Amino acid sequence: MSIYCLGEEKSLKQGVPDDLLSWSGGSSHSFPFAASTCCPVLSGVVSSFGDTTGGSMTAASSSFSYLGTSSVDALGHENKLESTYLYIQMEYCPRTLRQVFESYSHFDKELAWHWFRQIVEGLAHIHGQGIIHRDLTPNNIFFDARNDIKIGDFGLAKFLKLEQLDQDPGYPSDTAGVSLDGTGQVGTYFYTAPEIEQGWPKIDEKADMYSLGVVFFQLWHPFGTAMERHIVLNDLKQKGELPPSWVAEFPEQESLLRRLMSPSPSDRPSATELLQHAFPPRMESELLDNILRTMQTSEDRSTYEKVVNAIFDEDMLSIKDLHRHAGRPRLAGDETSIQYTDLDTEVRDYVVEVTREVFKQHCAKHLEIVPMRLLDDFPQFNRNTVKLLTHGGDKLELCRELRLPFVSWVISHQKSSFKRYEISCVYRRAIGHSPPNRYLQGDFDVIGGASALTEAEVIKVTMDIIAQFFNADSCDIHLNHVDLLDAIWSWIGVKAEHRQKVAELLLMMGSLRPQSSERKSKWVVIRRQLLQELNLAEAVVNRLQTVSLRFCGAADQALPRLRGALPADKPTRKALDELSDLCSYLRIWRIEKHVYIDALMPPTESYHRDLFFQVYLIKENNPGSLIDGALLAAGGRYDYLLHQLWGHEYKTSPPGAVGTSLALETIIQHSSIDFKPTRIDSSTIILVCSRGGGGLLVERMELVAELWKENIKAEFVPAPDPSLTEQYEYANEHDIKCLVILTDTDVSQTGSVKVRHLELRKEKKVEREILVRFLLAAMATQFRNPSIWN
């Protein structure tokens, strides 16, 4: 059983990562990540040198660290064989909620509400971290020594993923069976939500709310025998029937129970909604509500400013920081300052350089986007941004995408024809209390020009960049048009209020190639969820399936079928004509393989109102890829956005606009092409060393500056008088193979230096005057031309 728990004692928090520590709460009834009757606390993975994955080693684990065999090398350093262990500290929880139910001799209404509130608060916290428990039962709800509730056993838990461009769109389906009143692969029978049992492809936190409903019922209905419990819970599960006497006595609870156990997940309340509306307000909640009302209605900003000042109060922040880092050194295990290793950075630099060169080939100009801006009345097409608060109470948002700021620039400068590119990071909200996630992205935009032709150029740019890192057959291009999608919705008969939900479900097969066997098999589970959750008519779902299986596919096959099936109204004809023109232009540029019309694909951004596209990496043609169906790029026309923001004071009409956004982060993660780094190979980095002469610091500094001037990468040990051994160790640590060694005698008398290559074990005395010329010639052959050493 996978169990992770955090206690409130400081000694138990040592060595635990910050994101886990934040789950333990700070109130008198906190909700750790998990618990057990003997509840372990994850302290970290401890190596033989006492390092842990979360920081400093706990007192308990330090007593058991083990050093393996050791040996001594030629320099006298002891080499120790590291042994790694996982140490788990246990917190004793005397009983479970199931044990309480079995001895439920006296029903206490106030206690039932108290326990229910604690469970709901725990679920709200868990869901706030992006976690679905999926097995919430009385057996997995524990009471600690203070009689406070803790939720445990996360063996079936899953993470929800926040929306991001680099997120892979597929969702794994849960189709395993369940056992009668026993824990199977997807939960415990009486508590398992219908969507899990029926194998819906998309499961969210509402599955836990169904389980909560069954627990809630048992809090308010004690059972005399195990058989009575089985019969009543079975009737509730199978028929939705409740004991009439219980319904008559507890009508309010019955209403809440019906909502929690609704067959449709969308009808169930969230844990946060329950906390806001299902419980009598506490005194502190009423006081807070009064403060918030004053902030919203009063023209006097003093209340608002007091709240902001309290948030930024240094004493309060210090206390919070102490709680966060309790029991361990402040900087221990802190890897947040350095996100990438030197090799990772090198790879990213290479990808950025390749992307920039392709953008420049198409005469695009670089416009740098400010990474944050004041949150004002500027229209927002996606409110799911990372928001910050300044000390002055102003709200900022980090850049979620790179297009809206550019559009604002185009409008203010009244550009009618322009090409731009930007390579920068975009930000997404992280789970829990972690800093925002950032992802490298490249944008290319064309303002003005003819529709379909500019789309073709944007796709050409996209594919030229992707081709630098993936095989030609590794990617699929999916095309669609918003007018075509609207015509499809109308032809199928999907009502406007259902279209967003239907589109979300269809996204789960968006990365799958049209007409593929994988997409056809995925339709089985999607069809089930469309019928059961959205209650769509079977005729509507049949037409949806017809469009997916017949009207999506290669352009030369899909377009004629769409023309024959859909009404020949003007918007539909225009959409089909533009798609046909786009495919013709792409063929001129030899982009014709793996180009598909995907008529049910929704647009990536709400401002895409004409042609749009998505490019996916297909695993079957790219064995190095870790995940099937990775989204590499998305783009489309956004004339609508310019029309929306174009002010009436401008006499000219807004131009057309099209752009692409490349998920460079995904390209870096999935690329399996063995490319050459952009920097000089590590063997051509020069370490300027000294032997004797008091360290020859001035001479070393002068020589390294001369090498820098000639664009040769060089460095020296930053110490006044390092020993030769220390300089060799520095070279080994930084993977430097070539040394230029200065000696007092050679510098003052012979005017020469020694060039030594550690890997090739070659050495040559070179005159100081020709050193640069020698190094440049040697680096051209990676020092492997034998003649240079003669």
Which sequence positions are flagged as catalytic? Answer: 135
Helix axes 206-220, 109-128, angle to 10 degrees: 170
* CB contact at 8 A, 117 and 212: no
* CB contact at 8 A, 541 and 493: no
Q: What tokens were used for 772? A: 């640069």
User: Across the strands, what pairs with 389?
Assistant: 395
Between CA 134 and CA 118 the distance in angstroms is: 18
* CB contact at 8 A, 37 and 96: yes
CA distances to 137, 354, 585 from 351, in Å: 49, 5, 27
Between CA 690 and CA 748 the distance in angstroms is: 13
With H, G, I as helix, E, B as strand and everything else as coil, classify residue 790: coil
Question: Helix H segments across 55-141?
Answer: 59-62, 97-102, 109-128
Q: What tokens were used for 351? A: 């990808």
Give the type of residue at 614.
Answer: Q
Q: What tokens were used for 593? A: 């393989």
Between CA 95 and CA 276 the distance in angstroms is: 29
Give the type of residue at 287.
Answer: L
User: For residue 556, what are the contacts with CB-CB under 8 A and spacing of at least 6?
Assistant: 583
Between CA 156 and CA 742 the distance in angstroms is: 64
Phi, psi of 561 (to 5 degrees): -65, -40
Between CA 593 and CA 610 the distance in angstroms is: 23
Phi, psi of 325 (to 5 degrees): -105, 20
Phi, psi of 127 (to 5 degrees): -65, -30
DSSP secondary structure string, 235-254? HHHHT----HHHHHH-HHHH
Taking Cα atoms as reference points, which of 457, 390, 380, 394 lies closest to residue 635? 457
Q: Name the pairing type of β-strands 752-757 and 738-743.
A: antiparallel
Residue with tokens 């539909």: 572
Residue with tokens 């919705």: 489
Question: Please, how many CA atoms are within 13 Å of residue 590, restricted to the half-sphere of its CB?
Answer: 4
Between CA 88 and CA 67 the distance in angstroms is: 19
Q: How many CB atoms lie within 10 A of CB 253?
A: 21
Query: If phi over 0 gives left and psi between -120 and 50 gives alpha, with beta otherwise, what is residue 771?
Result: alpha
